[in-house]
Structure 1
Amino acid sequence: MDRTAELKAKIERLQKKKSALLTQSRLLQDFVTLAKSSAKEQILTAILQKTLDLTAELTKAETGSLFLLDPDGVVRDCILTRGPRQAKECLDLTGTVLEGGLAGWVMRNNRIGLITDTEKDDRWLNLPGQPYTVRSAMAVPISRDNELLGILTLLHSQPGVFHQGTADVMEVTAGQLGLALESAKLYSKLNEYSRALDAELEKGKQIQKEFLPRELPHPAGWDIAACFHAARQVSGDFYDAFLLPNGCLAVVVGDVCDKGIGSALFMALIRSLIRVFTGKISLSGVSISAGDRPAAEAMDVEVGTALGAVTLTSEYIAQEHGDQGMFATLCLGIINLETGELAYVNAGHLPLLIIGESGVRAALNVTGPSVGMAPGLKFRSAVARIDPGEILLGYTDGVTEALSPDAALYTQQRFLAFLEKPFSSALELIEGVKTDLFSHVKNAPQSDDITMIAVHRQKPAK
């Protein structure tokens, strides 16, 4: 007989454990489903509701509530079997119940509270205007690693529905509920942080846009176009075009190493330094030159401006921010708008291209190392000429290394082949490359920033 009783007790324990594990399994399945869905923001509320529904089903409860607590014991959320409460309603309810009701008793004693008949137990509080009759009640603490995560309260309109056996089942189940609630709580917090980070990055994206030219110059006899597509919210690519006090046009394209916030900050710094060191300091239409400039036709002036600006920018980055390990490739060109003469420095960047009617006529190759890699770097300048009808094109490696859905590169070869056709304006070239490039990329995620700037010297009117 003792053996029979022992086996019966063992079976009961196993049945309780099975019920608990099944409940946990269903909760975790729902958690995974919700995590994969578009309703991630509501995952915590959904898991709380599911927890309450499953335990009500397990214990035959008619109604119930679930209070989610923060580490200080303050109610963070409140769910009823008939749906979530409004914030004020929840606070009014929990303030009363946690101070003097069954849930408050459980919170203070950290153990299951069982009431077989509410009319005979002073731990039960009948709330004013309560829309349902309660005769059986049970409140269960849900904990994880000794932290009280929440209090589950189950109710029935008839006395004696909940008993010690029900309490035993819920005691075993509570541990499994704790795991599911903790997972949902952590995921909800992570999702909250992720949304906050996305919002900050979006702000950063808008701020970064302000560092790119709002409007490109429109010098007589020339037209300029550019495009910029960041792979992330913020980018390390940049371009610029601005008129100098001596009447020349400065054109810049660059790519800061790495991606993300750090590269975006350095992009803004480098762009600003280039403007300062070329002598372009302007505010509200007022231009201040960094020293008197000789006449625009003196080619050595443009050479000196380009070389000096890149050298000083590199030295500043290396001396002031060298411990960050950040550097950038860039091309700076100074164009004499009267003659088409171009002085440039290519600091480790892809060649600037001069494009004629039948394709690339000249590639302006590297004349020095990347900017900011170390103090004391030496750069060289070089000169070229943009003839009427030709286009100067600067771009970053996000163009040639753009990936298709099957991970095939756009390639330098395809890029150069596309440039063999004639273009009547800078905008036509930029838009044409974009169309061809994105027909290759299709719906593949963008792997790198894509940046181009084109400067077209128009043919004189006949």
Structure 2
Amino acid sequence: MTVIDEQLLQREAAVPVQRALIVDDDDDINYLLRVRLRARGYHVKSALTGEDALPLLVNDAPDIVFLDVSMPGMSGLDVLEYIRRQSLDLAVIMTTAYGSEQVAIDALRRGADDYLRKPFELAEFQAVLSRTARRLELSRQNAALRQQLDEKRRQLEAELARAAQVQTDLLPGTHLQLPGFDLAGRCLPAREVGGDFYDWTLSPTGCLTFAVGDITGKGMAAAILMATVRAVMRAVVRDSAPKEAMRYVVNGVMRDLQRSERFVTLFVGQLDTGTRSLRYVDAGHGHVFLRRANGLVETLEPRGLPVGAFAESEYHEGFCTFNSGDALVIYSDGLIDARPDLQLDHQVLAQQLANASDATKMVDRLVTLATTNTAFPDDLTVLVQYCW
């Protein structure tokens, strides 16, 4: 909360409790209460019956009502019921003759704030008035604070919705078709925004460079770091081999990751569609496998450490080739975390892709597998590269 917000809240809470309404059919008691309240700075109005009090409650909006329990016609309890039914912002002090305490207790159960016994002792009168006024001030201050917090929450929700849309717009799309290959991806944050991402770029020569990343943690902090890592990668991977691109990425984001005490797992690949060959670097990601057309599963090696884990990490490049029907599957650990009951591993996931004829269908199957009636516990990303 800013200083201005606090000042506004204090100003709202500082509006004094200074208007009183007396409802009592006893002229002497009515007069005595008027005198005592005016002596304490209150603006006072009075009524002798419950019926006469109703328009005063609505039109003059008192802060505190002194309400006699026993009156002819509309009783004090009837007026109390009306006040609470209308949700009027005021406090009610019931006044009752000696020996009628049980009636007053019943009034407290129905929503009265306090009660006074007639005849009024000055000390008791002052104590009841002071604590009732203070409770009303606190109640109004709390209401103003809740209203302010609700407005802040609505603003935050709107900002998060805009941030989520921006993050979605940063993704390259959900499908890309190339000579002999198609590529599909999905990224589903556990919250409004998240730390997972995938990206791909196509060079003028037809070489496809793609990446999948997973920032530790989730939410806004992970999303900000994700945007930083993605921006650095966009700047360097288009014209660089995976190993060289990884070196640039490490140099560009290491300081930010270390200062935030986070790291990022990355898989960066470069596909030559002409030779159907892939060069790649795996920086601690590990959630990647090659499903051959006959159903066999190959794990891609070598693997390095996540970026940000250690400043002097080395990364080595791997190589593989594709045949028709082969699929490269890359996913984040959110896929495994979403369904711990299934004990998902490369083999289980590869079996889910049987008879799927393109990358989009494979991505849909894996996302469907992870989807339950509950929210994802972690950001979930899947990218599939399928060879025709």
Q: Distance in 2 between matches of 1:227 and 1:340?
A: 23
Q: Does 1:72 align with 2:18?
A: no
Contact 1:344 1:381 in 2 (8 A): yes
Contact 1:349 1:366 in 2 (8 A): no
For residues 259-310 of structure 1, the C-alpha deviation after alignment (integer angstroms, 9 at most, x for no partner) is 11121122122122222212x3xxxxxxxxx5xxxxxxxxxxxxx6000111
Q: Does 1:451 align with 2:376?
A: no
Residue 415 of structure 1, CA deviation:
3.8
TM-score by length of 1: 0.58
Change in 2 beyond 3 A, CA 1:215/1:414 = closer
Q: Does 1:251 align with 2:187?
A: no
Residue 74 of structure 1, CA deviation:
8.6
- Residue 271 of structure 2 aligns with which residue? 335
- Residue 426 of structure 1 aligns with which residue? 359
Total equivalences in the alignment: 306
Which consecutive residues of structure 2, in runs of 5 or more, have no partner in the other structure?
1-7, 16-33, 48-54, 66-88, 93-115
Change in 2 beyond 3 A, CA 1:73/1:435 = closer
- Residue 268 of structure 1 aligns with which residue? 227
Which consecutive residues of structure 1, in runs of 5 or more, have no partner in the other structure?
1-68, 77-101, 119-130, 142-150, 155-161, 281-289, 291-303
- Residue 30 of structure 1 aligns with which residue? none
Residue 432 of structure 1, CA deviation:
1.5
Contact 2:266 2:282 in 1 (8 A): yes
Q: Is the partner of 1:217 in helix, strand or coil?
A: strand
Task: Quote the sequence identity (%).
Answer: 27
Q: Does 1:186 align with 2:153?
A: no
Q: Distance in 2 between matches of 1:364 and 1:232?
A: 31
Q: Distance in 2 between matches of 1:315 and 1:137?
A: 67
For residues 19-48 of structure 1, the C-alpha deviation after alignment (integer angstroms, 9 at most, x for no partner) is xxxxxxxxxxxxxxxxxxxxxxxxxxxxxx
RMSD value, Cα:
3.8
2:368 to 427, 435, 458: 435
Residue 258 of structure 1, CA deviation:
1.3
Residue 365 of structure 1, CA deviation:
3.7
Q: Does 1:313 align with 2:249?
A: yes
Q: Distance in 2 between matches of 1:217 and 1:135?
A: 68
Q: Is the partner of 1:227 in helix, strand or coil?
A: strand
Q: Distance in 2 between matches of 1:383 and 1:414?
A: 21
Q: Does 1:173 align with 2:132?
A: yes
1:231-250 counterparts in 2 under 5 A?
231-250=190-209
Partner amino acid for 2:264?
A
Partner amino acid for 2:265?
T
1:68-217 counterparts in 2 under 5 A?
70-72=9-11, 111=40, 113=42, 115=44, 139-140=63-64, 152=90, 165=120, 169-214=128-173, 216-217=175-176
Contact 1:345 1:380 in 2 (8 A): yes
TM-score by length of 2: 0.68
Change in 2 beyond 3 A, CA 1:243/1:353 = same
Residue 328 of structure 1, CA deviation:
0.5
Q: Which stretch shows the higher mean deviation, 242-251 or 166-175?
A: 166-175
Residue 164 of structure 1, CA deviation:
9.2
Q: Distance in 1 between matches of 2:289 and 2:216?
A: 22
Q: Is the partner of 2:169 in helix, strand or coil?
A: helix
Contact 2:174 2:186 in 1 (8 A): no
2:324 to 388, 391, 406: 388
Q: Distance in 1 between matches of 2:170 and 2:200?
A: 12
Residue 229 of structure 1, CA deviation:
1.0
Partner amino acid for 1:444?
T
